[in-house]
Every structure is written in structure tokens, then in C-alpha cells.
Chains A and B, each alone.
Chain A
Amino acid sequence: MSKLKKLNLKGHLLTAISYLIPVVCGAGFLIALGMAMGGTNQTDLVQGEFNIWDALATMGAAGLGLLPVVISTGISYSIAGKPGIAPGFIIGLTANAIGAGFIGGILGGYLAGYLALAILRYLKIPKWAKGLMPTLIIPFLTSIIGGLIMVYIIGIPIASLTSLLTNALNSLGSSSLLVFGGIIGVLSGVDFGGPINKTVFAFVLTMQAEGVNGPITALQLVNTATPIGFGLAYFVAKLFGKSIYTKVETETLKSAVPMGIINIVEGVIPIVMNDIVRCVVATAIGGAAGGAVSMVLGADATVPFGGVLMLPTMSQPWTGAVAILVNVVVTAVALAVIKKNVAAEEADVETDLEEDDIDLADIKIT
């Protein structure tokens, strides 16, 4: 287990995702804008036979089509550094060609990275050939081994697994959608952008790369709604004659709510830290409601990030708006009900002395 941890598989995936997100957002908005204005994605932009919206849609589709390549290159780079880039690129394109898609890209990235690393470490070459190592030996050997493994061994099973998964997701009935959305909502809410959230994010991003937009939309709408819900809770609690936030917390909200609107959930963390159990419970209840509504109504943003900016990219923007609204209200009411009244004098005390103990497993000292 500790050996597995040392490999840091998740860290490499997260690194790749950090490169992927700007690509998805840029391309996602291009295709959303192009298609909204009546453009279509064309294989070739033939001079004189397309308008600007066709061009935008085509640009966006080209970008989104590269996702397996970006994830593969990113992972390979994270593992092997600069020598990982070329083979990651080639093997990612191979995954695309064989129809192994995003999952193929992920596996291809690990394949490329570790192969490059192994060659770098174990292949001894004479001094005069040192220059050949990064320019010829690593890119060629890694790509031919990894690429052939992709084509002849893992590619086909992954391709069928991927289509199985997407078909299953596309044919979910509304009660399964309700449950699925609720689960995504709870999982994405409970740790406020932490490791659970990011793991779920990687999973739903995979689905989006396969053209299933619902799950990631549910996740991000929950992330968007949670901080707004914290803000609304202030007013809802006042209705009950309660004041649930300290002065410092109210100040925090003034930046946390605007951050939430553009999809950054982390702003509320300082407030959550002061009252973890109640805040997490309220977030989870609201998230389950928001996620379920989002999936059942079929909110389907083509971009995986942006908060309310995701709404215009949906085929029916009102679905996303309703999901956010439901989530915000449920979270706010739940917070207002279960959070304790903060006494006036206590409201001024800064409570940042209580901290989680550091888990030694999380820490690496060299």
C-alpha cells in the first residue's frame, strides 16, 4: 500500500487535470457559443462554405476532441518530466485513434510516463550517444512499446468498456438519475473542493469527455450553489431571529459568495472549519437536492467550470438555474435550522486556534 502511495498515481492525474481544465473551458465555450448561434461542427473548413459560427463550433470540437491527448500528455509529463511529453502525446493520439477515448488517454499517460522513466533509468548507453537519448531513444522506444500495447492489448477492451459506461449512463431512468445526482451532490459538497471532490471530479470529467455532460454539470452546480447557500442562510436565520455567523464569518461571506457564483467553493472553508459537522450536514443535504434536480431535469453544460457562466452553454439553461436555486435554498434553510445561535459577545471572538491535527500519512519530509 505504501508503495502504491509512493507512486502517487492520483497526483499525476490531478496534475494532468490542471492542464486539462483551461483546454476544456476554452473549447467548451467556443463550441457552446458557435452552436448556440446555429453553427455546426465541420470536419473540414472549406473556403467559402462556412460562417463564423461554424468556425467557432469547429474550433471548440477540435479542442474537445483533443482531451484524451491532453490528459495523456499531462500524466506522462507529471511522471517523467520533459521526456514524457512526446510519448504521452503520441500514445494519447493512439488512444484516440483506437476509440479508447478519455479512459484510454489516462491509461496511456501512465504507460508513456513510466516507460519513459524506466528507459531513462535503466537503459545504459555510451557517452557519445547521450544526445540521442531525449531526441530519439525515449520518444521512439516509449511510443512504439506503449503505442502497440494501446493498439493491440488494452485499446479494444477500454473502447468497449467506455461505450458500455456511456450507454448505461445515457439510458438511466429518472429514479436512477435522482439517486445518481444526489450521490454526486453529496460527494462534491462534503469536503469543499478537497480530495473527495476532486476524485469525483476526475470521474465525471471522464464522462464529459465521452459526451455525457449531466454528471459534471450536477457537480459544479452544487459547488456553485453551496457558498451562495451559506450567504442566504444569514438572512434566513435572521428571519428566525437567529444569528448564526460571527463577525469574522460574515466578512468571509462577502468574498465567499461572489467566489461561489463563479464556481469556487473554497471560500466558505474558514466558516466550515469553525463548525464542521453542522456545515457539512447542511451542505450535503443541499448538495443532494441540487444534484438530484440537476440530473433529473437534464442540465447539460458543455463546459466543466464557470458557475453561473455554465448556464448559457446548456441546451436548456433554466434547468441549471432551477438546480442552483433549489440547492441554495435547501442549504440555506438547513444551515439556518441546525446552526447554533451565536451570542453577541462571542460573535467577536476570532476562533482560528482550533485546527485539525495533521495526518502524518499526508506529510512527506525529505
Chain B
Amino acid sequence: MKIVGVAACTVGIAHTYIAQEKLENAGKKAGYEITVETQGTIGTENELTQEQIAEADIVIIAADVKIAGRERFEGKRIIEVPTDVAVKSPNKLIAKAAEVIVQPR
């Protein structure tokens, strides 16, 4: 399974990056390919490529604020949560993503 994600919090200097790290670690631990883009106050880092988005089975958006470039995920399965869900329960969130993928829309 391939996952792409976006993390963005209010102040954009802490939660954003903690969420990214937790999600990536949890994803890798579960044996998935995962890349998480961060949209902090500094701007977008670790930007997702078009291929990564095209190949992804699911998109995880962990954000407290409006994210930039949402239209890139048009037509994809998207899970949206506040950043603290990704910070507090990354493994469960990844498990939830795996569940969502097999569910019919």
C-alpha cells in the first residue's frame, strides 16, 4: 500500500513536523510506503510529486488549517484529521487508512 500525506498545524513550527514524523514512522512500521508533505509557516517542504500522488492508494491529511494544493488529490480516497490525532495515535490512524482502502466507497 502506498500512502501520501500532508501535515499542517496552526503555528506551523511544531505539530506539523511531529505529525509528519509520527505518520511516516507508523506507516513504515506497518510496511507501507509513505511520504508526508509539511506545510509549515516556512512554506511547503518535502513536496509530494505528481507520481507519488498518482500512485498513492490513500491520502492522509493531518491539518488544523486550510491546506494548499488540495485539488491535487481530486478523486482520491482522503482521510482528514486534526494534527493531534496523527501525533497521539499514528499507528491507529494508519490502520484506519488500511481499513478505508478496502471498503467500497
Contacts and interface: CB of A to CB of B under 8 A. Distances in A.
Q: Do A and B bind each other?
A: yes
A18, A194, A357, most chain B CB atoms within 10 A: A18
A325 interface: no
A65 B64 CA distance: 26
Interface residues of B, number: 29
Contacts of B90: 355
A116 to B, nearest CB: 14
A194 B65 CA distance: 13
Interface in A341-366: 353, 355-359, 362-366
Given A193-B15, A356-B89, A11 B65 contact: yes
Nearest to A10: B64
Interface string B7-31: 0011111110010000000000000
Interface in B21-70: 41, 64-66
A264 B41 CA distance: 14
Contacts of A365: 77-80, 100
B1 interface: no
Interface stretch (A40-48, A135-143, A265-273): A265-273
A267 B14 contact: yes
Nearest to A359: B85
Contact of B85 (A11, A198, A269, A358): A358
B65, B77, B80, B92, most chain A CB atoms within 10 A: B65
Interface in A13-54: 14-15, 17-18, 21-22
B11 A305 contact: yes
Given A11-B64, A362-B85, A18 B92 contact: no
B10 A17 contact: yes
A9 B77 CA distance: 24
A200 to B, nearest CB: 12
A233 B18 CA distance: 23
B72 interface: no
B88 A273 contact: yes
A366 B78 contact: yes
Contacts of B18: 266, 269
B96 A363 contact: yes
Interface string A300-340: 00000100000000000000000000000000000000000
A366 B91 contact: no
11 contacts: A11-B66, A17-B10, A18-B11, A22-B41, A77-B66, A78-B65, A259-B14, A355-B91, A355-B92, A358-B85, A363-B96
The 4 A-B pairs at the shortest CB distance, nearest first, are namely A15-B65, A364-B80, A266-B14, A355-B89
Interface of B: 9-15, 18, 41, 64-66, 77-82, 84-85, 87-93, 96, 100
